[in-house]
Amino acid sequence: AAVKEGDRVPEAVLQHFDSEGELRKVSTAELCGDGKTVVLFAVPGAFTPTCSLKHLPGFIKLADEMKDAGADDVVCVSVNDAFVMRAWEKSGAFGSGRVLLLADGSCLFTRAMDAELDLNEKGLGVRSRRYAMIVEDGVIAHLSMEEGGELNVSNAEHILHLLEADAQ
């Protein structure tokens, strides 16, 4: 069944390299629990044009404003391995730790989110649909799932607007 607003964020373990270069695992419960408000957005793939040129940079640009509006963390998830996610982070002006890039290498979180996107025809395998959500204390408060390759409802501006509206 599709995950929807009001549901708990699915349980999964994601990976990333910390600032010392150590491979770390983080559970979604740890990431999104304990009263935290987390902006989590997913992209089909590191280094792909829309993700690299528009989606991720938008969140990096507005991450501080999102935190001012109540977000504790801004997180990007992709069905790539942690090595690819680290290389993606180092490749552009993505630094400064404003957005945490997490790998869902085995597609387990993406599958639990019912967000799988079959890109086998393009040689990319199974990836994640593009979406963004606001998670409050482990519960999905807002979920904006894109159709096709669009970037309309999951962009940083839209999510910032939702955060600011919630803060009112």
Q: Count structural domains, the chain.
A: 1
Q: Is residue 111 part of a domain?
A: yes
How many CB atoms lie under 10 A from the CB of residue 161? 12
Percent of the chain with pLDDT over 90: 61
In this prediction, residue 166 carries a pLDDT of 87
**Residue 57: pLDDT band by 50, 70, 90 thresholds?**
confident
Whether 3 maps to a domain, the answer reads: no
- Enter the pTM of the model: 0.92
Q: What is the CATH number of the domain that holds 103?
A: 3.40.30.10
In the chain, % of residues over pLDDT 70: 94
* Domain assignment of residue 105, given as a range: 13-167
> Does 7 reside within a domain?
no
Tens-place pLDDT, residues 68-127: 999 999 999 999 999 999 988 888 755 567 899 999 999 999 999 999 888 778 877 788
- Tell whether 2 is covered by a domain: no
Which are the catalytic amino acids? Answer: 51
Q: Which of 35-39, 66-70, 122-126, 143-147 has the lowest mean pLDDT?
A: 122-126
Using pLDDT thresholds of 50, 70 and 90, give the confidence band for residue 49: low
Contact (CB, 8 A) for 97 and 112 = no
Judging by DSSP bridges, how do beta strands 13-17 and 23-27 pair with one another? antiparallel
Dist. CA 120–CA 52, nearest whole Å: 20
The verdict on residue 89 lying in a domain is yes
pLDDT at 51 over 70: no
